[in-house]
Amino acid sequence: MRRDGHSTVSTGLFACVLACSSCGADASAGAVESRGQVQTLASAPATTPTPTPEVEPEPAPEPAPTPQPKPEPQPLDEAGLGALIEDARASLRALDIKLTPRDTPRGPLPADSGLRQAYREHRAINLAGRSEQVRRWMALAKFAAIEPGPAPEPGPLVRYDLVVTRDGSQSYFHVVVDPFGLAAQGERGKHEAWIDKQRWVNLGDAIEPGRAYLPFKTNGNESLHKQWGKEAVIRDLVGVAHEYSARTGGLLGIGDISHVDGGKIEDHWTHQKGVDADLYLLDWETPSTEPEPEPASEAQPAPDPRPIIWWHHYKRGVSTWARKPKGKGDHEPAFDPEDPLSETPSSQRLRILAQIIFLVDAVAYFVHNDPTVLTPFDAEVGERRPGRRFLHAENKGYWPTHADHVHLRWVEGKLPVDVTPRP
């Protein structure tokens, strides 16, 4: 009810009627328009949809073939073993070995060598002779040369197992066929010696000559066949060679160790028991004064130039390194010519080698002429193992001068203390 007394209902109703009339008109117009659109769509011609081309499905990949397990190697039968033994006999004859091999065991047959079983199974033959004969037979069979040098060719029996034993003044050379046959082409069989019930092996079988170390002697008479030693000695030398190469960037020269059956060896009055080794501090930078090596053939290039060594000389408390013994010839320049205490490349190599050997307690004696480098090591090494020594020009006793190489000696058991050891 308004203030003037008139009711608001009639006015609202009238407004509603007007609004509804307007809505109906709009709806009628929309309906007409919709009917026209429907009629237009209905009268339009039908459109045929474009078919989607069918795509050939890619074939499923072939499943990877299941790898076949390698067949287990089978031991050779009696005929196969016999054929290889006959081949070995023929190879020995071709090497101009006059003796006839026996197929019955002779000499020591150490339990761990496998020789007893090999003879029971008729897959081994042997030759017996003096030490120099057996060394020669082993060299020809393994290296194809009596003195093979640093890089020999494989011998005709290299794929067989080759074993040397010794009993007093008599030595024995055994050729053995493994129960499963020979080593693969390009590989070698098990080559070893058994001396005083201990296994000896060749350094060149444990570490590659020319790549991990260099067989070397100052006089040029290096030979792989003089690098036999006790298994533990060879194992230590392998580690020393690798460590030396890693720390210096050059190869360690290694000379004589022992003959395959021990005993007296040229150029030494030690090196008879597989426990001595000569090491050389090779200089690969200084040009050698020796003639360039000739190529082996037109197809093969000349070998790398031979490295040199510097001889140590000690006089009136002064160390020098020279190209010739007793301080003669050119002297090796120091790193700092103005500093009288400056090292040379060779004294630095000696110090590095001494640091490496210091940690190898099985090495009892390290022998080299230079007191300047070795005196501090000799003062301390006995704390690691009583009796160990670094021997040099001022404390070597009866040891000969070692000016061009380092001599190492392995000793088992207790060492004499507070005395200079004899060679």
> Where do the domains of the chain lie?
74-195
Question: Comparing 37-41, 115-119, 229-233, which segment has the lowest mean pLDDT?
Answer: 37-41
Apex 128 CA angle, 124 and 129, nearest 5: 155
DSSP state of 390: E
Query: 43 pLDDT band (50/70/90 cuts)?
Result: very low
Q: Average the pLDDT over 92-98 and give the result.
A: 96
**What is the structure's pLDDT at 25?**
39
pTM over 0.85: no
What pLDDT score was predicted for residue 28? 41
Reply yes or no on whether the pLDDT at 288 is more than 50. yes
pLDDT bucket at 375, cuts 50 / 70 / 90? very high
In order of 247, 277, 304, 314, 317, the CA distances from 389 in angstroms are 23, 16, 36, 19, 20
Q: Is the pLDDT at 56 greater than 50, yes or no?
A: yes
Tokens 């037979």, located at residue: 137
Give the pLDDT of residue 289: 53
Pairing state between β 170-176 and 191-195: unpaired
Of the candidate ranges 4-18, 39-53, 133-147, the one whose mean pLDDT is the lowest: 4-18
User: What's the confidence (pLDDT) of residue 253?
Assistant: 98
The C-alpha atoms of residue 176 and residue 174 are separated, in whole angstroms, by 6
Q: CB-side exposure of 267: number of CA atoms within 13 Å?
A: 16
Under a CB-based contact definition with an 8 Å cutoff, are residues 184 and 158 in contact?
Answer: no
Q: Which of 4-13, 91-100, 178-187 has the lowest mean pLDDT?
A: 4-13
DSSP state of 299: S
Residue in this structure with the two tokens 């397990």, named with its chain if needed: 69
The yes-or-no verdict on residue 290 having pLDDT over 60 is no
Confidence of residue 31 (pLDDT cuts 50, 70, 90): very low
| pLDDT confidence bin for 65, thresholds 50/70/90 | confident
Residue 79 in tokens:
């005929």
Between 49 and 167, the higher pLDDT residue: 167
Beta-carbon contacts of residue 217 (< 8 Å; ≥ 6 apart): 255, 256, 267, 278, 280
